[in-house]
Structure 1
Amino acid sequence: MLNVHMYSSATKVKGQGVGSAYTELIKLLEKYYPEQLAITINEFSPADISHYHTIDLKFFFSTFSKRRGKKVGYVHFLPETLEGSLKLPWIARKVLYRYVIAFYKRMDALVVVNPTFIPKLEAYGIAREKITYIPNFVSKKEFHPIASEEKKQLRVKKKLPTAKFLIVGVGQIQERKGVFDFIELAKRNPEFEFVWVGGFSFGVITDGYAELKKVVDDPPENLHFPGIVERTEMCEYYNLADVFLLPSYNELFPMSVLEAFSCETPVVLRELELYEGVIAGYYAGCADIDEMEKKLKELAKDPAVLAKLRERAKAAAKFYSEDRLALIWLDYYKKQAGKV
């Protein structure tokens, strides 16, 4: 049995994709390999593998212990991907970015959630052979489609109109997520209903906080901000939507998109290079807000086009299944521990 120590503080702040990915992985491994992997959380006893999910300073110091075994780092972000998320003084930003790379360089091996990160990590001086791409996934038990009649009941429960075309977005309320475009689309299209599920996970240091807070406190009539909700409630929001829309300017491998796929909800995204290697072909891509508006109107008008996009979501959910990813993770841990 392999002793795998997990190190993470991702669940301390609600509404983060990193926390969702971490939670999903723990559940997956405990479900599939209870007799092959002995998993502990934030313990500093001897390990075969120490898997670092977040870059806390205490975790960084722990990497200097010879008891850590093989040190694996999970790369959920790079310095450049933090732009547009946090508003920090330039000196604090510079120190943070250098620390991020220093943490990754302390690892014996790295796992990236998007293959486009590999050459970028190489540019920071990290050897290619240390890096492995393993995609994110979500639990079908937690995120699944529900019957049409139940969807109507959910809208009543959430005090949302049952007959209007409804667009849902998910994520932290910040400039990087394209929330300003989401707001503008709601203003342009009063015939549609818009819901953004998420909040200011990092408070006033969130980029664009002051301006976004004004809209959240006094939104247009057809735009709703339910805030950060429990993970168990997220499945309801994906299902009551006609379309899931994420207008982000910068993403890695967004868990919200996989969750929408798993609920078989049609997905519309801003077209990003980062998506090409992971979810190309499964969503409708748009270059800007005007294309998003055009696509939403097309989907609202033509049920056949909407149905085709839903079929693409189903295909994505099948590809990123728990069964397939469970085998990939077990094989990876065995190789890192020299058990293969």
Structure 2
Amino acid sequence: MTVLDPPTRVNHVSETVSTVQGHGVHTAFCDLVAAHTDLGLEVGVNEDWRDGVLHVHTLGPASLRRLVRHRGLRVVSAHVTPGSLRGSLVGVQLYAPAFAAYVRAFYNAAHVVIAVSAAAADELRALGVRTPVEVVPNAVGAEPFLSTPARRAAARADLGFGDAFTVLGVGQLQPRKGIEEFAQCARAMPDARFVWVGARQFGALSAGRAEMGHLETSAPSNLHFTGQLPRSGVAAHCRGADAFLFPSRHETFGMAPVEAAFAGLPLVLSDLPVFSEVFGSSQAYLRAGDVPGYVAHLRALQTDPELRQRLGARAAAAVARYEGLQVADRIAGLYRTWSAHRVGTGTTAPLSTV
């Protein structure tokens, strides 16, 4: 790991600390803060510092205030793009142009933007973001998800999974995550247990609120919605499940399947191009574009324990590069590079872009 001398002073800013939590942006923020602390950086959270590095993770007014006032290096992680709101919040089509303009201006106020995937970077370029973009994935705190036979057995016992083949999904209860398809898979496989971990995070602003409510009340008996759980509860479900199903319709990265992969779960994912990038190859997971395809993959996993083990090992190997300290160290190096460039040239011209 990089030895920083003197320690880098970085203020991580996220409005999720005092607002909505239990989603990927907050998890990514928390994992990076923890990893940078472990690396020995001088870390602040939502401080009013105006020097050092400012690393912003959310796009709200409190973040904007700090961004425009900061005198040091300004870094923004692009966890949110206009595309990520479709199927997440109500009325997106009404305010999409205004939101796109706001996001573009926000990202252009930074010295450098971190995109969590090349797909997200492409979306930023199409949006008109002129700020240099670095592609760096999310740093994932892997330890809670790592599984051993003993940890797996304990999790299954605690969760009451018994001997049932258990399919797990994790994410906010919103149409974008493919909840309807998940429920249809459960109906097609009545002999398996399906569990979805997550809740409607934005209350009345959540997209498909009535639709999601109906899915919960009309769910087949083999589908259980847990609601929002703490990180430890999510990790326990990953350690105890047999397979992970994620029929999402849009992702900038996909924190949930990456965490499931750390637990050694075989992954059945939608055929979004970003997953091939995140996992390095489509060989690390099974992909499909509709319910029959998902069900066929799940049936194969249900009947073939060796296939489950083989695909789970592939998934775990594919995400090893996202271990928190490795990614956090890379981001710390980015801070030093861009800070030195600004001091040396007095400009914000890119050193490296995608």
Question: Which TM-score applies when normalising by structure 2?
Answer: 0.89
Matched, 1:16 2:19: no
Helix, strand or coil at the partner of 1:68? coil
Paired residue for 2:247? 247
Q: CA deviation at 1:90?
A: 4.2
Q: CA deviation at 1:335?
A: 0.8
Structure-2 separation of matches of 1:100 and 1:320: 26
Deviations 1:299-336 (A, max 9, x none): 11112221210111221232322343233122111112
Q: CA deviation at 1:287?
A: 2.0
Deviations 1:185-204 (A, max 9, x none): 11111011100000000123
Q: Structure 2 unaligned segments of length 5 or more: list them.
A: 1-6, 345-354
Paired residue for 1:4? 10
Q: CA deviation at 1:68?
A: 3.3
**Structure 1 residues 93, 22: closer, same or farther in 2, change over 3 A?**
same
Q: CA deviation at 1:119?
A: 2.9
Helix, strand or coil at the partner of 2:249? coil
Deviations 1:192-219 (A, max 9, x none): 1100000000123222110211232342
Paired residue for 1:313? 315
**Structure 1 residues 323, 28: closer, same or farther in 2, change over 3 A?**
closer
Structure-2 separation of matches of 1:323 and 1:23: 13
The alignment covers a number of residue pairs equal to 333
Matched, 1:73 2:79: no
Counterpart of 2:155 in structure 1: which amino acid? L
Matched, 1:64 2:71: no
Q: Structure 1 unaligned segments of length 5 or more: list them.
A: none
Paired residue for 2:186? 186
Give % identity: 29
Structure-1 separation of matches of 2:192 and 2:92: 39
Match for residue 118 of structure 2 among 115, 119, 122: 115
**Structure 1 residues 142, 156: closer, same or farther in 2, change over 3 A?**
closer
**Structure 1 residues 117, 89: closer, same or farther in 2, change over 3 A?**
closer
Paired residue for 1:166? 166
**Structure 1 residues 5, 68: closer, same or farther in 2, change over 3 A?**
farther
Cα contact 1:138–1:262 (8 A) shared by 2: no
> What is the Cα-based RMSD across aligned positions, in Å?
1.9
Structure-1 separation of matches of 2:199 and 2:147: 25
**Structure 1 residues 46, 166: closer, same or farther in 2, change over 3 A?**
same
Matched, 1:127 2:130: yes
Paired residue for 1:333? 335
Q: CA deviation at 1:262?
A: 1.1
Question: Which TM-score applies when normalising by structure 1?
Answer: 0.92
Deviations 1:131-156 (A, max 9, x none): 001111322322211325x5344334
**Structure 1 residues 249, 268: closer, same or farther in 2, change over 3 A?**
same
Cα contact 1:5–1:47 (8 A) shared by 2: no
Mapping 1:1-340, distance limit 5 Å: 1-11=7-17, 12-32=19-39, 34=40, 37-65=41-69, 67-88=70-91, 90-127=93-130, 130-147=132-149, 150-160=151-161, 162-279=162-279, 280=281, 281-338=283-340
Structure-1 separation of matches of 2:175 and 2:52: 41
Structure-2 separation of matches of 1:43 and 1:321: 26
